[in-house]
C-alpha cells in the first residue's frame, strides 16, 4: 500500500499508475472507485498528518501519505462504493467529512460516502445540450416543488412542463446544507447533492428524465460564500477566506496568497456538475460578491471549465449580478466574463410597480410607466450607469449592445416572491387582467423568459424564506430577515410584523410547497401560458428574438404598444393596456398604422374566455381598434382582403 500511495502522491495528472496499471480519476481529490478498491486524495495544506477513518469498517484507521504540496493519499484495496469515511487531522480528535464528498447521507456533520458516478446508466445519448436561443426557463426548488420534496417526485412533473412549452429547468441550489429544510444558498458540501432530496443517482435520474422529454437542466450554484454551519474548510486549509467581508461574512479568497487552490476548488466544482450529472449549464449566484482583481476573473475560469467539461455538448451559463455589470455577458476577448445571460431585476421591478402601484424600498427608483416597460423590453437593463437613488450611487453599465436573449426576465422568482411579508404571488397582488397582460409581455418579449414554480397555474401557496439552523443561528436568521423586510415601510406595521412566519419554523417550509391539486385543476392560466409559448415557438417574428427590429410607443398613462418588424411587412403589434378602456382609433402614432397593402387582424387576446378573460370585441378594421382595460392584444399584419 505504501508503494501505491507514493505513486499517487507524485502524480501530476489524474491518471495514476499502480503496479503497471492505471486508475482514471475523474476528480483530482476525493474518493475514486475502481475494480480493485478505492483511492482517496485530500488537499489539506495546513495539516502535517491525516488519518482516513473507515466508519463502515468499525472505524479502521488508514494513515495517509503526504506529498510536499500538502496533498494526502491512501489506497484501500477491496473497498467498494457505499463505504462511509471521514478524516482525522493532526491531533484533532474530531473527525471531519471530505471537503469534496460526493454524498453526505447524514448531512454535512456526518460521514462522507464513497460514490461511484459510473454506476448510473445514462439514456440521454441523443441529447445535444442547450443553446441560449429560444430558451424558456422554469425555476424550481426541489424541496417544495412536490409534496414529497425529492428528485424522483419532481421528475414525475417534467413531462407536463415540457408539454407546456418550457425548454429548460433551473434548479435552485442542491449542494448539501445542515438542517431539515432550506433554500440551498447556505450550502457547505458543494460536491454533494443534498440527502434531503435523494441520492446522487436520484439527481442523475432527474436530469436523465428531463432530457428524455426534451428539457435541459441548469443548476443554481453559490460560489460567493459558504453557509455559516457545517463548513470545515478552514480545518484543511488557511487559503479559502479573505480578510475582507461581503454580504454574508468573510469573502472568498480568489486573488490573494493561496488563491489558486481556492479557484481550482470552484472551477472543478463547476466541471463536476456538468460532467457527472450531464447538466446543461449553471446559474451563478450573486457574482458581484465574487471579488477578484486577478488578470483573469474567476468567473471566466468557471465558465471555461464548465464548457470544457461539456465537451461537444452546448451549455448555457447565467449570472445574477445585482449591480448589473453588463460586461459579464461579453466575451473575454472583449473584456467580459463570458456568461451567456444576466438576470434582469429592472424588468421585474418596473412590471411589479405597474401591476401593483407600490414603490417601496428597491422599487422606489422605477415608476412602472409604459415608457419604462417599453425600454426594458427593447434595451434590457433600465439602469445602465445612471444614479440609483435607493443605493445613493450609480447602477449598471452600458448594455445597449447586448442581444435581447442575454437578458433573463421574470415577473416572479424565488427572491422576489419571498421578499415580501407573506410570500405572495404577483397574481394575488394585482387584478387578473393585469396579470394576464403582463404574462403576454413577458412571454412574447425577445428576452429569455423565466417562470417560477407554480406561476403557470397561479399557485395560491406562498413562497416564503425558510432555513433550519440551530437555536443561535436561527435567532440571527430571524433578526436578519426582519432587518431585510424593514426596508419596506408597510412591513414595519406592528400588526404585520406579528403575522410574519418564522423562517426557522417547519410551517414556513410546508406552506411553501405547491399543491398538486391546483396543478391538476387550475386550467385558465396554464392555458394562457401554453398558448403564448406555442406562439413564441412557432411564430417566426416572435421566435427571432430580435429586439433590434422592435419599436415601442406610449399610448396612454398605462398603455403602450410594441411593433415587431417582420420580413416584407409581416409585422406583429402587441398592445398592452394596464389602465381603463382606451380607444386608439385616432391616435397620432405611426406605429399603429398597418404596413402598406396589409391590415391588422387579431392573433391573440389575453381576454379570451379560455384564459379567464371577459372576451374581446371583433376587430373589423383599424378604425375600430379599442383596447379593453387590463388586457393585451396581439395583432398580425395580414394581406388586405385576405
Tens of pLDDT, residue by residue over 51-67, are 999 999 999 999 999 99
Ramachandran angles phi, psi of 526, nearest 5°: -60, -40
**How far is the CA of 427 from the CAs of 290, 377, 458, 461, in angstroms?**
35, 21, 7, 12
Domain assignment of residue 446, yes or no: yes
> Which pLDDT band holds residue 379 (cuts at 50, 70, 90)?
very high
Partners of 113 in the β-ladder: 84
* Confidence at residue 1, expressed as pLDDT on a 0 to 100 scale: 32
Least confident of 5-9, 133-137, 563-567: 5-9
Instruction: Indicate whether 333 and 256 sit together in one domain.
Output: yes
From its phi and psi, is residue 589 left (phi > 0), alpha (psi between -120 and 50) or beta? beta
Instruction: Indicate whether 578 and 453 sit together in one domain.
Output: no
Please report, for the domain that includes residue 162, its CATH number: 3.20.20.80
Q: Are 210 and 158 in contact (CB under 8 A)?
A: yes
**3-state SS, residue 195:** coil
Average pLDDT, rounded, for the chain: 93
pLDDT at residue 536 is higher than 90:
yes
* Confidence at residue 482, expressed as pLDDT on a 0 to 100 scale: 79
Domain assignment of residue 402, yes or no: yes
Instruction: Indicate whether 102 and 158 sit together in one domain.
Output: no
Percent of the chain with pLDDT over 90: 85
Instruction: Indicate whether 501 and 585 sit together in one domain.
Output: no
Domain assignment of residue 356, yes or no: yes
* Confidence at residue 585, expressed as pLDDT on a 0 to 100 scale: 79
Entry pTM: 0.95
Query: 561 is written with which cell numbers?
Result: 404598444
Tens of pLDDT, residue by residue over 20-52, are 344 568 899 999 999 999 999 999 999 999 999
* Confidence at residue 624, expressed as pLDDT on a 0 to 100 scale: 59
Instruction: Indicate whether 479 and 452 sit together in one domain.
Output: no
Tens of pLDDT, residue by residue over 479-503, are 888 788 888 888 888 787 788 889 9
* Confidence at residue 471, expressed as pLDDT on a 0 to 100 scale: 78
* Confidence at residue 616, expressed as pLDDT on a 0 to 100 scale: 82
> Which pLDDT band holds residue 2 (cuts at 50, 70, 90)?
very low
pLDDT at residue 214 is higher than 70:
yes
* Confidence at residue 23, expressed as pLDDT on a 0 to 100 scale: 55
d(CA 502, CA 222): 24
Tens of pLDDT, residue by residue over 87-106, are 999 999 999 999 999 999 99
Domain assignment of residue 296, yes or no: yes
Find how far residue 429's CA is from the centre of its chain.
24
Mean pLDDT value across residues 67-84: 95
Mean pLDDT value across residues 172-188: 97
Contacts (Cβ under 8 Å, ≥6 apart) of 155: 205, 206, 209, 210
pLDDT at residue 16 is higher than 50:
no
d(CA 234, CA 410): 38
* Confidence at residue 495, expressed as pLDDT on a 0 to 100 scale: 80
d(CA 19, CA 39): 14
Mean pLDDT value across residues 543-552: 97
Instruction: Indicate whether 529 and 554 sit together in one domain.
Output: no
* Confidence at residue 640, expressed as pLDDT on a 0 to 100 scale: 85
Q: Are 586 and 623 in contact (CB under 8 A)?
A: no
- How many CB atoms are closer than 10 A to CB 310? 19
Please report, for the domain that includes residue 558, its CATH number: 2.60.40.1180
Tens of pLDDT, residue by residue over 392-422, are 999 999 999 999 999 999 999 999 999 888 9
Instruction: Indicate whether 356 and 223 sit together in one domain.
Output: yes
Instruction: Indicate whether 226 and 364 sit together in one domain.
Output: yes
Choosing from 477, 500, 534, the residue where a domain stops is: 534
Domain assignment of residue 163, yes or no: yes
Beta-carbon-side half-sphere exposure of residue 412 (alpha carbons within 13 Å): 28
Percent of the chain with pLDDT over 70: 95
Instruction: Indicate whether 280 and 349 sit together in one domain.
Output: yes
* Confidence at residue 478, expressed as pLDDT on a 0 to 100 scale: 80
* Confidence at residue 538, expressed as pLDDT on a 0 to 100 scale: 98
pLDDT at residue 18 is higher than 50:
no
Ramachandran angles phi, psi of 60, nearest 5°: -60, 135
Mean pLDDT value across residues 110-121: 97
Owning domain of residue 82: 2-113
Instruction: Indicate whether 160 and 65 sit together in one domain.
Output: no
Contacts (Cβ under 8 Å, ≥6 apart) of 633: 574, 575, 602, 604, 605, 606, 607, 616, 627
Instruction: Indicate whether 526 and 474 sit together in one domain.
Output: no
* Confidence at residue 619, expressed as pLDDT on a 0 to 100 scale: 67
Please report, for the domain that includes residue 68, its CATH number: 2.60.40.10
Instruction: Indicate whether 529 and 588 sit together in one domain.
Output: no
Choosing from 51, 84, 113, the residue where a domain stops is: 113
* Confidence at residue 21, expressed as pLDDT on a 0 to 100 scale: 43
Domain assignment of residue 123, yes or no: no
Q: Are 144 and 514 in contact (CB under 8 A)?
A: yes
**How far is the CA of 437 from the CAs of 139, 346, 607, in angstroms?**
21, 18, 9
The catalytic site residues sit at: 285, 320
Domain assignment of residue 31, yes or no: yes
How many domains in the chain?
A: 4
Domain assignment of residue 487, yes or no: yes
Amino acid at each position: 500500500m505504501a508503494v501505491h500511495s507514493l505513486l499517487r502522491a507524485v502524480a501530476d495528472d489524474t491518471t495514476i499508475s499502480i503496479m503497471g496499471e492505471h486508475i482514471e480519476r475523474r476528480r483530482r481529490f476525493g474518493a475514486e472507485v475502481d475494480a480493485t478498491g478505492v483511492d482517496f486524495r485530500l488537499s489539506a495544506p495546513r495539516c502535517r498528518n491525516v488519518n482516513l477513518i473507515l466508519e463502515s469498517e468499525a472505524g479502521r484507521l488508514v494513515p495517509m501519505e503526504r506529498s510536499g504540496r500538502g496533498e494526502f493519499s491512501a489506497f484501500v484495496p477491496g473497498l467498494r462504493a457505499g463505504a462511509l469515511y471521514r478524516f482525522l487531522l493532526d491531533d484533532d480528535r474530531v473527525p471531519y467529512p471530505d471537503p469534496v464528498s460526493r454524498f453526505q447521507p447524514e448531512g454535512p456533520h456526518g460521514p462522507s460516502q464513497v460514490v461511484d458516478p459510473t454506476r448510473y446508466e445514462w439514456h440521454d445519448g441523443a441529447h445535444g445540450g442547450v443553446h441560449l436561443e429560444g430558451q424558456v426557463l422554469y425555476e424550481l426548488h426541489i424541496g417544495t416543488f412536490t409534496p414529497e420534496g425529492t428528485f424522483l417526485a419532481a421528475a414525475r412533473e417534467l413531462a407536463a412542463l415540457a408539454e407546456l412549452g418550457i425548454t429548460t429547468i433551473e434548479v435552485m441550489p442542491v449542494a448539501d446544507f445542515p438542517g431539515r429544510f432550506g433554500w440551498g444558498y447556505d450550502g457547505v458540501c458543494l460536491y454533494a447533492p443534498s440527502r434531503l432530496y435523494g441520492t446522487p443517482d436520484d439527481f442523475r435520474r432527474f436530469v436523465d428524465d428531463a432530457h428524455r422529454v426534451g428539457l435541459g437542466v441548469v443548476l443554481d450554484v453559490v460560489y460567493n460564500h459558504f453557509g455559516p454551519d457545517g463548513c470545515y474548510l478552514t480545518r484543511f486549509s488557511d487559503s479559502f477566506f479573505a480578510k475582507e467581508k461581503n454580504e454574508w461574512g468573510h469573502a472568498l479568497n480568489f486573488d490573494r496568497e493561496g488563491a489558486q487552490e481556492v479557484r481550482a476548488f470552484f472551477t472543478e466544482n463547476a466541471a463536476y456538475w456538468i460532467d457527472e450529472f450531464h447538466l446543461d449549464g449553471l446559474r451563478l449566484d450573486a457574482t458581484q460578491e465574487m471579488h477578484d482583481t486577478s488578470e483573469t476573473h474567476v468567473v471566466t475560469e468557471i465558465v471555461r471549465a464548465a464548457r470544457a467539461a461539456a465537451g461537444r455538448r452546448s451549455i448555457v451559463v447565467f449570472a445574477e449580478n445585482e449591480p448589473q455589470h453588463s460586461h459579464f455577458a461579453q466575451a473575454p476577448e472583449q473584456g467580459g466574463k463570458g456568461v451567456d445571460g444576466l438576470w434582469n431585476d429592472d424588468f421585474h421591478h418596473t412590471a411589479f410597480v405597474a401591476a401593483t402601484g407600490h414603490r417601496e424600498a428597491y422599487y422606489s427608483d422605477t415608476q412602472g410607466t409604459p415608457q419604462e416597460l417599453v425600454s426594458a423590453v427593447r434595451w434590457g437593463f433600465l439602469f445602465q450607469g445612471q444614479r440609483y437613488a435607493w443605493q445613493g450611487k450609480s447602477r449598471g453599465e452600458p448594455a445597449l449592445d447586448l442581444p435581447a436573449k442575454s437578458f433573463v426576465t421574470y415577473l416572479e422568482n424565488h427572491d422576489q416572491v419571498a421578499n415580501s411579508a407573506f410570500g405572495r404571488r404577483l397574481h394575488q397582488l394585482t387584478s387578473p387582467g393585469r396579470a394576464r397582460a403582463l404574462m403576454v409581455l413577458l412571454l412574447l418579449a425577445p428576452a429569455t423568459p423565466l417562470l417560477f414554480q407554480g406561476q403557470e397555474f397561479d399557485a395560491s401557496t406562498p413562497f416564503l424564506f425558510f432555513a433550519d439552523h440551530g437555536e443561535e443561528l436561527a435567532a440571527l436568521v430571524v433578526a436578519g430577515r426582519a432587518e431585510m423586510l424593514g426596508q419596506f415601510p408597510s412591513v414595519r406595521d406592528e400588526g404585520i410584523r406579528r403575522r410574519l412566519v418564522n423562517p426557522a419554523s417547519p410551517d414556513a417550509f410546508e406552506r411553501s410547497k405547491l399543491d398538486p391539486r391546483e396543478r391538476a385543476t387550475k386550467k385558465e392560466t396554464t392555458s394562457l401560458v401554453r398558448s403564448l409559448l406555442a406562439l413564441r415557438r412557432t411564430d417566426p417574428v416572435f421566435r427571432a428574438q430580435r429586439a433590434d427590429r422592435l419599436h415601442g410607443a406610449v399610448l396612454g398613462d398605462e398603455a403602450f404598444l410594441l411593433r415587431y418588424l417582420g420580413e416584407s411587412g409581416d409585422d406583429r403589434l402587441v398592445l398592452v393596456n394596464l389602465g381603463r378602456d382606451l380607444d386608439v382609433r385616432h391616435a397620432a402614432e405611426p406605429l399603429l398604422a398597418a404596413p402598406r397593402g396589409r391590415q391588422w387582424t387579431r392573433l391573440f387576446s389575453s381576454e379570451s374566455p379560455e384564459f379567464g378573460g371577459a372576451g374581446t370585441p371583433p376587430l373589423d378594421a383599424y378604425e375600430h381598434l379599442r383596447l379593453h382595460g387590463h388586457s393585451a392584444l396581439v395583432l398580425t399584419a395580414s394581406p388586405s382582403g385576405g
